[in-house]
Amino acid sequence: MKLREGAAHTRAARNTERGVVILGMTMTQKILARHSDLGRVKAGQLIEANVDMALGNDITAPVAIKEFDKIGASCVFDKSKIALVPDHFTPNKDIKSAEHSKMMREFAQKYEVENYFEVGQMGIEHCLLPEKGLARPYDVVIGADSHTCTYGALGAFSTGVGSTDLACAFATGKAWFKVPHALKFVLTGKPAKWIGGKDIILHIIGKIGVDGALYKSMEFFGDGISYLSMDDRFTIANMAIEAGGKNGIFPVDKKTLEYAAKHAPGWVMPADYDFNADMDAEYEQTYTINLAELKPCVAFPHLPENVKNVSDAGNIKIDQVVMGSCTNGRISDLRIAADIIRGKKVAKNVRVIVLPGTQQIYLDALKEGIIEDFVQAGAVFSTPTCGPCLGGHMGILAEGERAVSTTNRNFVGRMGHVNSEVYLAGPAVAAASAITGKISHPDEVCGKEVKKS
């Protein structure tokens, strides 16, 4: 990559202005500077940036559509840069959700929005957009959903916004931001067996807390990244918000470029700008995580920071297992779980619900025999939906029930009754727990016989 303008940033960082050292920029700051047509930005600065994609779902888009009408907008800023994905309460669970989906459908038809994904084509939004090539490296992506930070796995700046901000973006193609301060996470070493993106991000949240990155950019570096699949990175970036982060972001490497070439073949690497963090970029704090030392973990109720190693969980019996969501609903997650469940039976009195992230993931699982593995074991394989994750439908917990879930939140009442409990884990722990009927380490079920796919 050429370093023309970016190199100028690095040189500027070594100059002084009125005796004050001008520091370099982080990855996030460089993307925001580029999209706001500014030579440089600094933490705390208020800016207006051009957006490459504006996303709404069946909960948030109807509010945005009403605000869009209130401001008197007569057209959308770009028919190709808006995505509407009904995924939370669909297939429609009741009359209200049906009306919300109808409003989205009519808005998409009226303004010729190209990226509207109806039932049958839809998926869980944060799995679907990367798959469709609608989120790409160095983009600015906003969505009226807090887990929009997922696309930082691709080296994009992506973050959640309110529905009013989304409405303004629909009309103008712009959004305002306060440039975030940054935290640096250096990932070293090779993860051991069973360790995936969920274990890594739960470990980090357990370390810094649910407000440890409040309105900060979580930027990931280190040789350990090379061992992480894109699906691992999506999971980690997705849960940056669970540490309070404004966004999470990974550098663009060979795996990122291969993913972009497959899913967004029309995307071209910018040749006139250096988006890498400057050597003298300012980070409020640096954390070093040795991935080789991590063990499978689980977040106990009722916060994602309440993290324990699975081996220390104790004898906690469960009633339900949910595998999927925008965090762990990708094909690699289903493969890991299926490898553990294959040929076994779900524990008596345990309900197991599997949620593929998209229709394509559903088809891939079908072709690979993964759906049959789950059904033969006694699980149910669902259409793509967010339903159980937010206590919407298709998996609500009753009073006193416990669930192990590969979703991203375990707040009080998150998946149902306020007196239910949610334990967050990765697909390997979830699958093992489904077989034993209690929170379990994968080795309890398969020992050394199964390797992570």
**What are the tokens at 427?**
């697909």
The band of 22, judged by pLDDT with boundaries at 50, 70 and 90, is low
Q: What amino acid is encoded at 19 in this protein?
A: G
Look up the pTM and report it: 0.91
Residue 104 has pLDDT above 60, yes or no: yes
What pLDDT digit, counting tens, does each position of 318-376 carry? 999 999 999 999 999 999 999 999 999 999 999 999 999 999 999 999 999 999 999 99
Residue 453 has pLDDT above 60, yes or no: no
As a whole number, mean pLDDT of residues 224-253 equals 96
Domain at 299-444, CATH from 2.60.120.10, 3.40.50.970, 3.40.50.720, 3.30.499.10: 3.30.499.10
**What are the tokens at 415?**
């998946």
Q: Are strands 297-299 and 307-309 parallel, antiparallel or unpaired?
A: antiparallel
Residue ranges per domain, the chain?
50-177, 299-444
What is the predicted pLDDT for the residue at 90? Answer: 86
What is the predicted pLDDT for the residue at 186? Answer: 98
CA distances to 65, 75, 380, 385 from 110, rounded to whole Å, are 12, 9, 37, 25
C-alpha Rg value of the chain to the nearest Å: 22
Domains 50-177 and 299-444 share a fold: yes
Report the chain's mean pLDDT, rounded to a whole number.
91
As a whole number, mean pLDDT of residues 310-325 equals 93
Contact 81, 173 (CB under 8 A): yes
- The domain made up of 50-177 is a member of CATH 3.30.70.1400: no
